[in-house]
Amino acid sequence: MSARDNILGRIRKAQGRSGTEPTAAELAQVRADIARRAPGPIPAIGRASDLQRQFTHACDRVGTSHGEVASLEDVPAEARRYLDANALEPRLVGWHELAGLDWTSAGIALEDRPARGSDRASVTTCFCAIAETGTLLLLSSPATPKATALLPETHVCVASKSRLVPNMEAAFALLRAERGEPPRATWFVSGPSRTADIEQTLVIGAHGPYRVHVILVP
């Protein structure tokens, strides 16, 4: 008998069932339970009527700064303002979908490639943003490498207000509707990387970005 059979067999025996494999009926029942995708109770902060207000409020709490622009074309200027305000070099490595914007006029050198360990700042988009917790949901794909959002010290993220969702349940519903399944890397970012492992003292910037800045576009 394989380890798998032994483990499943022990579970089944402990629950008064025989064999080493769930029956077709048992599997069907479990799949039906999964298919219901019954959500749990959602608290008031996850049911906000003013999504943008709840989102920016939650961003403030997790340490994500935010700006808002009137159109996607204004993103480079806002990015420049943010980089200058933090005394950062006007240099970004970014996801391909943003490469078409006019970065040069804003005085930013944008490189359309995945980030390397030496890159200081990056710009990405996100799949959607969650108002309840000020969270950005990012998905990996050939055009959206995860390293770009992870390795640099500064991460600028463009989020569309039309893709603000009230809670994580709504984000998953959107993911299923548009992508079917989660891609290889599906990750939620709520503020800059942090640690409190030395004397429970909070320090920003453990392994991921020190700064996360969201630019809200229509």
* Cβ neighbourhood burial of 40 (10 Å; 0-12, 13-18, 19+): exposed
Q: Is 15 in a helix, a strand, or coil?
A: coil
- Phi, psi for 191 (deg, rounded to 5): 85, 175
Residues in region 43-62 near other proteins by CB under 8 A: 43-45, 58, 61-62
Q: Should residue 32 be labelled a site residue for other proteins when binding is judged by CB under 8 A?
A: no
Q: Which is nearer to other proteins, 160 or 190 (CB)?
A: 190
Residues in region 120-179 near other proteins by CB under 8 A: 133-135, 140-142, 145-147, 150, 167-169, 172, 175
Which of 18, 34, 49, 87 is the binder for other proteins (CB under 8 A)? 34
User: CB count, 10 Å around CB of 84?
Assistant: 12
Retrieve residue 204's tokens: 């920003």
Which stretch, 79-87, 101-109, 121-129, 204-212, contacts other proteins (CB under 8 A)? Answer: 204-212
Which of 129, 193, 211, 217 is the binder for other proteins (CB under 8 A)? 193
Q: Which is nearer to other proteins, 76 or 192 (CB)?
A: 192
For residues 89 and 61, give the distance between their C-alpha atoms in angstroms, rounded to a whole number: 27
CB of 174 to other proteins, least distance (A): 11
For residues 95 and 125, give the distance between their C-alpha atoms in angstroms, rounded to a whole number: 7
- Parallel, antiparallel, or unpaired for β 109-112 and 121-125? unpaired
CB of 74 to other proteins, least distance (A): 28
CB of 6 to other proteins, least distance (A): 6
Residues in region 71-110 near other proteins by CB under 8 A: none
Please name every residue paired with 138 in a beta bridge, in sequence order, or none if there are none.
187
